[in-house]
Structure 1
């Protein structure tokens, strides 16, 4: 099968969606399919051979984060050329209503199209306004996938219709087999507790993690806290200077370093306050054998089996986090049982399982629309019609 994957977010600063697209492409290639990925990327950014760059992006604040998006006539021309050369059996768009590359491809293409929705949010004025405008575009999607029940709820409530839940995938064996790093390994007297995430996004919860440090150190003076991720650490480092070497900022880590970190530490903490649709790093940590302690948001609760595969604490409460960490560290036998359950539970997210579910959707849409992906003859006027609809909606709101 010839598969075209479109990623709306830049490969220059990869995140969860980019990693998902990359890993899905590699799993499909491993199974013998032909795959091409269209994604934003600077010319100097190294990308795999199967990735075609759609050019540079613009940083836009979105859902508590920063999305690097790619839009405009030059990008549209590149997307048309990629679609024409690809001669795809199925086109798989990720975040197809985000105003970036995937939406452009949806305008341009016709035929067997699959859309994966990654985002979860409670309210979105932008989605409410855009919903009637993008309705005709969404009708072109033959098969909808949501990466979690939270993402599915967002689709149902904001866009109408439904989606089948196919979770994010993880190459779990890479984490199972990851070598431990002596510098990051803990002992009963000096347990190691890790955070991994973007440091300058408040919703990732780094401050909650750091505010729990004194509670743990008061009871376990040798505890060590490892902070990995991109972002300016100056402000955070200054706030924890009084703890000496108990808190270590590791900076950005490679895939191999992340695997080793999660395999080495006693606890992995996910203190996010919201805006998460899944929690792929929880699955990675579970696979590596770390005991996961996570904030009790719906997406994390689902991944952790309501607390059977990890430990949950109240959202945004550093005192509760500190007490939870001490409780886990104080009962090693119970913690070991949770670790084993986590390793077993993570297997259902392995790409060997998830890719089969994605391929089942591909087979369904190609069976119901037995044509190849092609250019939609209406596409060259769609942008104009969308602008007119937006102008009309705006004018109506002023009346």
Structure 2
């Protein structure tokens, strides 16, 4: 089986998107499949048309990052040309395009030209992601147009993969055949998060966390993550738990505003910002944290989409506390594998965290249950099998139809 993945962006850029992609490609290689990827104009400046990163082959679209409607249309055309060239070089059995929808549109053009089956994988709806990032408004003309374009692409793909039940149910409500959709949930590469790192006492002391009860967030600082609510919860939490400290690792569009909010807090001394750290260093910071907090705000994006970070925390054997939005409820069983608190409610966040810190008697049981959940249901080495029935069905149909003639070397 030869799969060409079509990506908005990929390694060496670091994001939840690229880490999920890496996990998929590595797990597919371990299964004995041959994989390659094509990245679009949003990858940014690249030196070579083909690059090897972390042992994976990426074909690059050498085009300017698109801006405005005209730029997006030109970007799709350039992306399609690069996908076609990668098809010529790699000779795949199947195209597997990943959201946003612009990549699906470019891949669909090539799939139809070459008679290749196309799987379109949606990690979030682009229109809802724009609202969450503060670059769009729900219900606007652009929002409705993007939603319609997404539905159009889904209807024309040969199969659709989504990362969670929320996205699947939304597509079914739009009239998409449920038999066409497979859920391929976010998972963890346990080769990367297999054994929790030992606590680095020197690092803890350098951050003033030597004997602290540390609440942590490690990820991107977007508005929808609700970190302003977490910072707002700290005065009440510190009043109840004087040793409570907040460790924020990462960066993003909200960083300046969050730093200003923290500096103005009456418990500013209890809040630490680390900034971005290399992915290879993340485990050192996980090891400092008692409870990983994910206070996502309530909105369509967070109700429909499951995040990756809580799963990484569970794999690290960490306690997880999160807002009760739909995406979190798919991952966390309140009181069993983690704690759920009300979204958009600093007082509720403070109360839930204080209760958790006050009684450690059930911590070991929760950690064990959360780790078992990841190993059994969110482990990429087993999750990857969800793609196999789709790939086999589509490639067999293409072979019977005779629409895609493999080269002799690939028979």
TM-score tier by shorter-chain length is 0.7 to 0.9
For 1:159 and 1:80, locate their aligned partners in 2 and report how far apart those are by CA, in whole Å: 31
Task: Output one character per residue of 1:236-275: Cα deviation in whole Å (capped at 9) or x when no partner.
Answer: 2333234354211111122222233224311000011142
Structure 1 residues 296 and 39, CA, compared in 2 at 3 Å: closer, same or farther?
Answer: same
Which residue in the other structure is 1:194 paired with? 216
- Provide the secondary structure at the position in 1 that maps to 2:121: strand
The separation in 1 between residues aligned to 2:296 and 2:269, in whole angstroms, is: 24
SS at structure 1 position matched to 2:285: helix
Separation (CA, whole Å) in 1 of partners of 2:174 and 2:119: 19
- 2:162 aligned to which of 120, 134, 146: 146
Which one of 318, 322, 329 corresponds to residue 290 of structure 1? 318
2:260 to 238, 254, 274: 238
Cα deviation for residue 171 of structure 1 reads 0.8
The reply on whether 1:323 has 2:346 as its aligned counterpart is: no
Alignment of 1:79-98 (within 5 A): 79-95=83-99, 98=100
**Root-mean-square deviation (Å):** 3.0
Match of 2:103 in 1: 101
Alpha-carbon distance change, 72 to 92 in structure 1, aligned in 2, over 3 angstroms: closer
The answer on whether the counterparts of 1:170 and 1:283 sit within 8 Å (CA) in structure 2 is yes
What displacement does 1:317 show?
A: 0.5
State the distance in 2 between where 1:305 and 1:368 align: 40
Structure 1 stretch 207-216 or stretch 357-366: which is displaced more? 357-366
Secondary structure of 2:267 counterpart: helix
Work out the CA distance in 1 between the residues paired with 2:78 and 2:184. 33
1:43 and 2:61 are equivalent in the alignment:
no
Task: Note the 1:171-182 alignment, pairs <5 A.
Answer: 171-180=189-198, 181-182=200-201
Listed as ranges, the gaps of 5+ residues in structure 1 are 61-67, 376-399
Question: 1: distance between equivalents of 2:361 and 2:274?
Answer: 30
Give the deviation of 1:374 after TM superposition: 5.7
Which 10-residue stretch deviates more, 185-194 or 162-171?
A: 185-194
Partner in structure 1 of residue 34 of structure 2? 34
Distance in 2 (CA, whole Å) between partners of 1:78 and 1:151 is: 29
Report the 3-state secondary structure (helix = DSSP H, G, I; strand = E; otherwise coil) of the residue aligned with 1:144. Answer: strand
DSSP-derived class of the 1:332 partner: coil
Does the 8 A contact of 2:188 with 2:380 survive in 1? yes
> TM-score scaled by structure 1?
0.81
Question: Is the CA contact (8 Å cut-off) linking 2:80 and 2:109 kept in structure 1?
Answer: no
The residue that corresponds to 1:302 in the other structure is 330
Structure 1 runs of 4+ with >3 Å offset: 9-14, 44-47, 120-140, 184-189, 232-235, 371-375
Tell me which of the two structures has the higher relative contact order, counting C-alpha pairs closer than 8 angstroms and 6 or more residues apart. 1
SS at match of 2:169: helix
Distance 1:246 1:374, change over 3 A: farther
Which of 370, 373, 385 pairs up with 1:342?
A: 370
1:383 is aligned to: none
- The 3-state SS of whatever aligns with 2:192 is helix
Choose the corresponding residue for 1:227, options 248, 253, 256. 248
Distance in 1, Cα, partners of 2:285 & 2:402: 44
Q: Is 1:356 matched up with 2:385?
A: yes
Say if 1:47 and 1:313 are closer, same or farther in 2 by CA, change over 3 A: farther
- In 2, distance between residues paired with 1:70 and 1:350? 38
Q: Between Structure 1 and Structure 2, how many residues are aligned?
A: 365
Task: Give, in whole Å, the separation in 2 of the partners of 1:247 and 1:131.
Answer: 39
Which runs of no fewer than 5 residues in structure 2 stay unpaired?
Answer: 132-137, 406-411
- Displacement, 1:134? 6.4
TM-score (norm 2): 0.79
Q: CA deviation at 1:144?
A: 1.6
> Which residue of the partner structure matches residue 4 of structure 2?
4
Distance in 2 (CA, whole Å) between partners of 1:147 and 1:137 is 17
Deviations 1:146-169 (A, max 9, x none): 110011122223462331212122
CA distance in structure 1 between the partners assigned to 2:16 and 2:184 by the alignment: 15
- Alignment partner, residue 396 of structure 2: 367
Q: Once the two structures are superposed, what CA deviation does each residue of 1:270-324 show, in whole Å capped at 9, x if it has no partner?
A: 0111423111111100110111000101110110135521100011101100000
